[in-house]
Structure 1
Amino acid sequence: MPDDLACHAARPADRPAERPGQTLARGVCRHLLGHDFVTVEELIPAPGLRVDVMALGPKGEIWVIECKSSRADYMSDTKWQGYLGFCDRFFWAVDEAFPTDLLPQDTGLIIADAYDAEILRLGPETKLPGARRKSMVQKFARHAAVRWHAARDPAFTGVWPG
C-alpha cells in the first residue's frame, strides 16, 4: 500500500526516515483529501523545478504547496516564484513553530504536522491557461501512475520508456 494511503503502517527497515518537509507534506496531503483534492509529492513541472506537493481539485483546479521545515529552509528557497505559472493557487505549508511573518502575505498558508493540516489563508487565484492546465493534469496523472507502479512492483527502477 502506498505511503499516502497507509495511515499507521510501520516503516520498513530498508526505507529511510522521513525528512521534516516530508512529514509536513503527509499532513497536507491528508488534509486536502478531506477537501476532495488528490495529491502527488515531488512533481517536476518543468526542468529545474520540483514542487513538494501538487494537488488536483474536484473541478480541475491545481494547487502547489511548498513545505518549509525551518527559517533556513525558507530563506534558501530561490525557486518558489517559478512555481506560480504552474498552479491556480500557491501555498506554503509550515509547522506551528515557524515564523509565518517571513512568508509573503499574497500567498496561501497552511499549518501542518505529520498527521493533518489547516488552511489558514488562501492565496490569490490565478487561473492557468487551458493548454498549461492540460499539460499539468497529464504530468500529474503520469506521476501518480509511476508512483503507484513503484509501490506495487518492488523490482521497478523508476525508469520507463518515453
Structure 2
Amino acid sequence: MSTPLSDLQPGQVLARGVARALCELGLDCVPEMPLRPRLRADLMALDRKGEIWIVECKSSRTDFTSDRKWGGYLEWCDRYFWAVDDAFPTELLPEGTGLFIADGYGAEMIREAPLDKLAPTRRKALTLDFARAAARRLQRLTDPGLDGLAP
C-alpha cells in the first residue's frame, strides 16, 4: 500500500523519487535507517556487491543550512549523496559528494559520489543492520499486531 504524495513531507517526496532511481540502478533501499543515536540516514542503499550508499534529502536552503550533521554520515557509507529538487541552489552543496535531482516520481544522478570504502568490519555490521531493519519492517507490514510484542 503506497502513501499518496500529498500525504508526504517534502523530504519524503524526494526520498521516494531517489529510491525509485536507485532501484533502477540495481540498489535496494531502507528509508530512515538508524545509524547511531541521533543519526538517521534518509536513505541507505545496498548494491549487489555490498557497496553502501547514503542519500540525504534536503527540501530547501533552510533545511540544508539548519542541519549540520551531514559530515557524520561519511563514516557509515562507501558513497554519500544529496537529493534535492530542481529549484534547490546546488552551489550550497559540498564538493566531493554525489547529487541527485529528484521529485516524487524519480531522480537523476547529476554527480556521482566518490568511492571511500568502508572498513570490512563496519561494512559487515552495517549490512546486518540493513538486513534486520528491512526484515523487521516487512514483518510489521505483514503482522501489524507485532508492534506491541517486539522492540
Which of 112, 123, 130 is matched with 1:122 structurally?
A: 112
Which amino acid in the other structure matches residue 147 of structure 1?
A: R
Greater share of residues in helix: 2
Which amino acid in the other structure matches residue 91 of structure 1?
A: F
Distance (whole Å) between structure 2 residues aligned to residue 23 and residue 33 of structure 1: 16
Greater share of residues in strand: 2
1:62 aligns with 52
Distance (whole Å) between structure 1 residues aligned to residue 67 and residue 117 of structure 2: 24
1:157 aligns with 147
- Structure 1's unaligned 5+ residue stretches are 4-9
Q: Summarize the alignment of residues 8-157 of structure 1 with structure 2, pairs less than 5 Å apart.
A: 11=4, 17-157=7-147
Shift of 1:105: 1.5
Which amino acid in the other structure matches residue 35 of structure 2?
A: P
* Identity, % of aligned positions: 53
Shift of 1:159: 6.3
SS of 2:54 mapped into structure 1: strand
Root-mean-square deviation (Å): 1.6
Distance (whole Å) between structure 1 residues aligned to residue 113 and residue 19 of structure 2: 18
SS of 2:105 mapped into structure 1: coil
- Structure 2's unaligned 5+ residue stretches are none
Shift of 1:152: 1.5
Q: For residues 133 and 97 of structure 1, do their structure 2 counterparts lie closer, same or farther at Cα, with a shift above 3 Å needed?
A: same
Distance (whole Å) between structure 1 residues aligned to residue 92 and residue 77 of structure 2: 22
1:6 aligns with none
CA contact (8 A) 1:146 1:158 kept: no
CA contact (8 A) 1:150 1:158 kept: no
TM-score normalised to structure 1 length: 0.88
Q: For residues 35 and 103 of structure 1, do their structure 2 counterparts lie closer, same or farther at Cα, with a shift above 3 Å needed?
A: same
Q: For residues 67 and 159 of structure 1, do their structure 2 counterparts lie closer, same or farther at Cα, with a shift above 3 Å needed?
A: farther
Runs of 4+ in structure 1 off by over 3 angstroms are none
TM-score normalised to structure 2 length: 0.94
Distance (whole Å) between structure 2 residues aligned to residue 122 and residue 145 of structure 1: 29
Q: How many residues align?
A: 150
Distance (whole Å) between structure 2 residues aligned to residue 34 and residue 119 of structure 1: 12
